[in-house]
Amino acid sequence: MTTEHPGNVPVQPAEETFRVALVCMPFYQVAGPSPAVGLLRAIAERSGFQADSYHLNLDLAARLDPGLYDGLCRNPQDLVGEWLFSVAAFGSGATPGDAAYLEDCPKVGALALKLGSDEATLTALRHEILPRFVDDLAASIDWGRYRVVGFTSTYQQNVASLALARRIKERSPHVAIVFGGASMAGEAGEEVLRAFPFVDYVVVGDGDLSFPALLGCIASDASPEDVPGLLLRKTNEVRAAGEPRLFSDLDSLPTPSYGEFFERARQLGLAGRPDCGWTLPFEGSRGCWWGEKHQCTFCGLNQLGMTYRSKSPDRLFQELGELARQHGVTSFFATDSIMDPRHVEELFAKVRETKSDYEFYWETKANLTRAQVRTMQRGGVRCLQPGVESLSSHVLQLMRKGSTMLQNVRCLKWCRYYGLRVDWNLLWGFPGERNEDYLREMEVMKLVSHLEPPGNAGPVCMVRFSPYFNDPDGFQVRGLRPQRAYRYVYPPSVAAEKVALYFDCEVGDTVAPEAHAPALAWIDEWRRRWSSERPDTLVYRRTPGVLFVEDGRAGDRLGTHTFREPVATIYAECVETMRRSADVRSAMANDGSLPALSEDEVREILEGLSGLGLMVGEDGWYLSLAIPANPNW
């Protein structure tokens, strides 16, 4: 008899002695479990294998100051987490010279001070604390009872995973070491397998099919050479068993197994901390439906799987309920690159109908309407990452974002009204940008100080798999080379250009960096106001025939504007979304109580309101910036 794993490919169940371990290493955040580890454990168990998971990132968080650990996770500046584990991973082969790294990467020292530490602490971590930590992990767990140990590696987990994998192989040569995750995509997986003999297999791309198929081969002593997406070593050469396959039937996946994470957190004393609010990761979709059409020029996500696939609203709703019941957690984090439009109406309707008290963090596009934001808020969304990225339509066009400045402002406006936090960045450094783009952007930023400011602002990062990386000549990108920090992370025997995710380069036809100094200064002020006891406000109140706009933005605009007809209606017509003068005139013509105005007269009023800083316009479209004081929109 055989059991089946996702995709209905039969797998022979293993004997009792065949056990699998799945490991999540630092520096993965500790606010919630690893979705990859949780899902692969559930898949392995459903395929008939005995599997255990180990969230060893929690062990380090408990050993270090939790604030320091969390800060290192959330600020992966200059690969600091990878550098810190390099001595533990490579021993005498690690690049010496801590001072050179800290001098070449000054943000790391600044980060340490911000986290209440110093460079001496970082040095002690690298040479003493973390090597001892990995030694303890290797000795305290009986890894020899496993036939397979799999490591998931994303961003700052690669070097820590290599450190433990090497020790496991030295102690228990019979254990098959498997690596997978985003860090293994492209050339990286091949180079890891080539450079580190203790790694036996690398799974590239979706592991839903290939991982249980590999387990079945190992359990039955069969050759895994036909497993799609698998890299293996044969005759001292790295070989690909076959092209990775995209897994499409997401509804067939089991619910991730997260129990070990919470039990481990309880045993380590992390569960009772007042600053620990658990968030459960879940997967609503894979790929990017926008990227299938126009991949954003700087985006390297979804490396090999841009094709969009998603769970049905019914299936996703069932999984959310199951996870909440199992773990007593109702706060969720979507791993999606972009929200499925079906989920906006259908999923959140189910949440409302059942009065389920869920809270969601989700990534989406920024061209959201007021009604969509309202639906999300009523369905439990509390924070969005809408990919705003810029308040310049020309720069957004250069990015291929598929949105405009007005759409981005509209998104920020309605998120502010409905109480959704917005996680967004302001970026620059795009080939073809102009000084006037950023001068206009500054004007817009000054007008929207009542809306949430960007969390980060700075030049765009060059990453593998992005269109900029894949077509450097087409985008005036020159001198692509691994980010300077890689020289301090990996020994010379590792080809950094193959394992690197981040790259340094020179980009032509961009605005001088110093031109952004005023924007950075203003953003600091904007954030200060936003977090103050009295943040800036801009609201309006409507009564029959009169509209009042109360301007509480700091500066010379403070006060209340009173507008009577027809100006009151013209302003109100542009509150929900941007409108053209012809559209506004047409709407007014349907109201016989309003005076008849020509399109030129309407446009003149719109321009006047824009001149007062109460509206923002672009290419003949106008958006009112004030938020309704009425809470019942």
Angle between helices 370-378 and 405-418 (to 10 degrees): 30
Is residue 496 located within the same domain as residue 543?
no
Is residue 523 located within the same domain as residue 557?
no
pLDDT at 272: 66
pLDDT at 424: 97
Closest CA to 420 of 452, 367, 383: 383
Tell me if 258 is assigned to some domain: no
Average model confidence (pLDDT) across the chain:
94
Query: Which structure tokens are listed for 106?
Result: 């000054």
Tell me if 272 is assigned to some domain: no
pLDDT at 275 over 90: no
pLDDT digits (tens, 9 = 90+) for 390-409: 999 999 999 999 999 999 99
Above pLDDT 70, what percent of the chain? 96
pLDDT at 519: 97
Return d(Cα 55, Cα 115) in angstroms, integer: 23
Is residue 602 located within the same domain as residue 519?
no
Is residue 235 located within the same domain as residue 292?
no
pLDDT at 239 over 80: yes
Q: If you average pLDDT over residues 358-384, what whole number do you get?
A: 97
pLDDT at 176 over 50: yes
Domain, as residue range, for 381: 279-530
pLDDT at 14 over 70: no
Number of domains in the chain: 3
pLDDT at 1: 32
Tell me if 248 is assigned to some domain: no
pLDDT at 276: 62
pLDDT at 96 over 60: yes
pLDDT higher at 274 or 559: 559
Tell me if 586 is assigned to some domain: yes
Who's near 528: CB < 8 A, 6+ residues apart?
none
Tell me if 67 is assigned to some domain: yes
How many residues comprise the chain? 633
Is residue 491 located within the same domain as residue 547?
no
Is residue 78 located within the same domain as residue 145?
yes
Q: If you average pLDDT over residues 201-211, what whole number do you get?
A: 95
pLDDT digits (tens, 9 = 90+) for 453-485: 999 999 999 999 999 999 999 999 999 999 999
pLDDT at 9 over 60: no
pLDDT at 155: 83
Is residue 385 located within the same domain as residue 488?
yes
Domain final position from 473, 502, 530: 530
SS3 95: coil
Is residue 498 located within the same domain as residue 608?
no
pLDDT at 460: 96
Strands 148-152 and 19-24: parallel
Above pLDDT 90, what percent of the chain? 88
Is residue 182 located within the same domain as residue 202?
yes
pLDDT digits (tens, 9 = 90+) for 28-54: 999 999 999 999 999 999 999 999 999
- The pLDDT confidence band at residue 236, using thresholds 50, 70 and 90, is confident
pLDDT at 353 over 90: yes
pLDDT higher at 295 or 241: 295
Return d(Cα 558, Cα 538) in angstroms, integer: 9
pLDDT at 416 over 60: yes
Q: If you average pLDDT over residues 425-452, what whole number do you get?
A: 98
Strands 201-203 and 176-180: parallel
Tell me if 271 is assigned to some domain: no
pLDDT at 329: 95
Return d(Cα 73, Cα 79) in angstroms, integer: 10
Q: If you average pLDDT over residues 78-99, what whole number do you get?
A: 95
pLDDT higher at 308 or 9: 308
SS3 3: strand
Q: If you average pLDDT over residues 366-385, what whole number do you get?
A: 97
Who's near 421: CB < 8 A, 6+ residues apart?
382, 383, 384, 415, 452
Tell me if 174 is assigned to some domain: yes
Return d(Cα 104, Cα 87) in angstroms, integer: 18
pLDDT at 15 over 70: no
Q: If you average pLDDT over residues 485-499, what whole number do you get?
A: 96
Tell me if 46 is assigned to some domain: yes
- Kindly report the CATH number assigned to the domain that includes residue 503: 3.80.30.20
Is residue 214 located within the same domain as residue 288?
no
Q: If you average pLDDT over residues 477-495, what whole number do you get?
A: 96
pLDDT at 616: 98
pLDDT digits (tens, 9 = 90+) for 571-612: 999 999 999 999 999 998 887 777 889 999 999 999 999 999
Is residue 160 located within the same domain as residue 25?
yes
pLDDT at 473: 96
pLDDT digits (tens, 9 = 90+) for 551-576: 999 776 789 999 999 999 999 999 99
Q: For residues 54 and 260, is the Cβ–Cβ distance under 8 A? A: yes
Hey, CA dihedral for 524, 530, 533, 537, is it positive or negative? positive
Domain final position from 212, 240, 268: 240
pLDDT digits (tens, 9 = 90+) for 308-329: 999 999 999 999 999 999 999 9
pLDDT at 496: 96
pLDDT at 11 over 80: no
Instruction: Flag whether the pTM goes above 0.95.
Output: no
Q: If you average pLDDT over residues 107-117, what whole number do you get?
A: 91
pLDDT digits (tens, 9 = 90+) for 49-83: 999 999 999 999 999 988 899 999 988 879 999 99
Weakest-pLDDT range from 244-253, 271-280, 289-298, 624-633: 271-280
Is residue 156 located within the same domain as residue 76?
yes
pLDDT at 10 over 50: no
pLDDT at 4 over 60: no
pLDDT at 530 over 80: yes
* β-bridge mates for residue 185, sequence order: none
